[in-house]
Structure 1
Amino acid sequence: MVRYIPNFLTICNLLSGCIGIVLIAEGNLNGGAYMIWLAAIFDFFDGLSARAFSAHSSIGGELDSLSDMVSFGVLPSFIIYALLKDILPEAFSDLAFVAFAIAAFSAIRLAIFNIDTRQKSSFIGLPTPASALLISALPLSNIPLVEQLMNNYIFLILLVLVDSYLLVSNIQLMAFKFDGFGWQKNKFKYSFMLISLILVILLNTIAIPLVILLYIIFSILKKSWRSSPGKSS
């Protein structure tokens, strides 16, 4: 029975995305954003359980990508669409559909990931969960500056464009696939997770953009460290 646990968690990821879309359609942006967080938790543990129970399967991999497309591609697009629809001048209201560039580039990113043998131990381009978590921070933040940015359609459109680019960029980023839990092999991952946790505790949702930036920085440092003579981690 344990071999079905990863796929069950993946389905929970998918259902979280579906519920989030319904909540956005009903005007509950906060609820939709929290569904991204819940989906990310299920997404993390489905991979962890698959490795723990040696329950990898081709169907599981495809199911994971399809679920991620809904929860981390379509759902964050709906959040941006809802924000843009409320603030765009009537003459430019159709620009709100630019939000779905995130869904389109997420689909491309996931399709590339499925056939790219270089991405077994690291990611190339921003992972879709990180992209979605970045978007989720917008409705959840009560920081005045963030609230001002949410009401600036130029910022939101630029965010969509930058996020879409990062999804399919050639930036090499850490994957949180643990082959053993020792410090030496995982020091960059553990350090990143600890600092991120501290930032979230101190800053709440406003920490998310900082965590994404930290993720990129740590990934670059990890790559540089491994490229140094005599280094490996």
Structure 2
Amino acid sequence: MSPIGSSNQNKKISLPKLLPNIFTTIGLCSGLTGIRFALDGNWQNAVFCILVAACFDMIDGLSARLLKAFSPFGAELDSLADTISFGVSPAIITFLWIREPIISTDQEFLLEWYWIPFLFYSACNAFRLARFNVMHMGQTAEKESKSYFLGVPAPAAAGLVLMPLGLDFIFARFDVSFTTSSYPVLIICWVFLISSLMISRLPTFSFRNVRFNVASNKALLVLLAVCLGVSIFMKETWIFLFSVGVLYFLSIPIASIASRKDNI
């Protein structure tokens, strides 16, 4: 990303070169704002903030590659922002979400135990990002291929951890009285699972390097499919996002199988 950390104090940086860091900073602010919404009990906006942070995380990487605006400062800023937006914020949001029904049942003594999996999640997020940085700095013989990540990347893990909240939003949409937050043990097991997938060495698809070639006579079908997807997203946002999360989770074993075939 941009060379904002240069030792030459008089060196000027063009705005386009600074854009990736600007996008990273916006994503960081969005992730932190998610915590504020969670403190107010505004769960939908809290989750949306993490999704916005994920979008800007993707945009800053794309803009850095397009503008060739890479620098050690930008790489460090990106990792630190990811740790907060996808490691700390989702953990606090989810913990506060399960905290409410526990307090209402006078079982506050359990909160000390229920906090442990969220500490574990945040630590695994930091470990995963540290491993990613070390691998890409060439300080280890282990490398990620262009088609696969090692383990679930931080933004995807944040989305998966927040899926139980999305399920509650869907139930509320159809006036179903069932709430997943009333079953904190299941949420904790889910958090442990996603944390383990982050630091695992399971190959997962790297969609940023996927290239799609569409025949010219089928381009209109692709545009229609995009139009349909956007329409569904606008009408049933949480159903759409939850479905994307389910599809991504199901893609993890598929990626493992595909990776083995590629290595044969």
Pairwise TM-score range, normalised by the shorter structure: 0.7 to 0.9
**Which of 106, 109, 115 is the matching residue for 1:97?**
115
CA contact (8 A) 1:133 1:208 kept: no
Instruction: Using the TM superposition, give the Cα deviation of residue 91 of structure 1 relative to its aligned residue in structure 2, in angstroms.
Output: 3.1
Question: How far, CA to CA, are the matches of 2:198 and 2:178 in structure 1?
Answer: 25
Choose 1 or 2 for highest CA Rg: 2
Question: How far, CA to CA, are the matches of 2:144 and 2:76 in structure 1?
Answer: 15
- Matched pairs, number: 218
Deviates more, 1:133-142 or 1:23-32: 133-142
**Percent of paired sites with the same residue:** 28
| Superposition RMSD in Å | 2.8
Q: What CA deviation, in whole Å up to 9, does each residue of 1:95-123 have, x standing for no partner? A: 23122321111011111111024136231
Counterpart amino acid of residue 114 in structure 2: A
Structure 1 unaligned segments of length 5 or more: list them: 185-193, 229-233
CA contact (8 A) 1:134 1:208 kept: no
Question: How far, CA to CA, are the matches of 1:217 and 1:160 in structure 2?
Answer: 18
Which residue of structure 2 aligns with residue 191 of structure 1? none
Does the alignment pair 1:123 with 2:137? no
**Are residues 5 and 17 of structure 1, via their aligned partners in 2, closer, same or farther at CA, if it must alter by over 3 Å?**
same
CA contact (8 A) 1:77 1:101 kept: no
Does the alignment pair 1:10 with 2:24? yes
Give the alignment of 1:156-167 within 5 angstroms: 156-167=187-198
Q: Quick check: which one's helix share is greater?
A: 1
Does the alignment pair 1:220 with 2:256? yes
SS at match of 1:157: helix
Which residue of structure 2 aligns with residue 190 of structure 1? none
Which residue of structure 2 aligns with residue 143 of structure 1? 170
Give the alignment of 1:19-168 within 5 angstroms: 19-88=33-102, 89-98=107-116, 99-117=118-136, 118-119=143-144, 121=146, 122-141=148-167, 142-144=169-171, 147-168=178-199
SS at match of 1:116: helix
Counterpart amino acid of residue 126 in structure 1: V
Which residue of structure 1 aligns with residue 213 of structure 2? 183
Structure 2 unaligned segments of length 5 or more: list them: 1-14, 137-142, 215-224
Question: How far, CA to CA, are the matches of 2:185 and 2:71 in structure 1?
Answer: 43
Question: How far, CA to CA, are the matches of 1:143 and 1:171 in structure 2?
Answer: 30
Instruction: Using the TM superposition, give the Cα deviation of residue 172 of structure 1 relative to its aligned residue in structure 2, in angstroms.
Output: 1.2
Question: How far, CA to CA, are the matches of 1:206 and 1:152 in structure 2?
Answer: 19
Question: How far, CA to CA, are the matches of 1:24 and 1:10 in structure 2?
Answer: 22
Question: How far, CA to CA, are the matches of 2:58 and 2:178 in structure 1?
Answer: 29
Question: How far, CA to CA, are the matches of 2:44 and 2:101 in structure 1?
Answer: 17
Instruction: Using the TM superposition, give the Cα deviation of residue 174 of structure 1 relative to its aligned residue in structure 2, in angstroms.
Output: 2.1
Normalised to the residue count of structure 1, the TM-score between the two structures is: 0.82
**Are residues 60 and 146 of structure 1, via their aligned partners in 2, closer, same or farther at CA, if it must alter by over 3 Å?**
farther
Instruction: Using the TM superposition, give the Cα deviation of residue 173 of structure 1 relative to its aligned residue in structure 2, in angstroms.
Output: 1.5
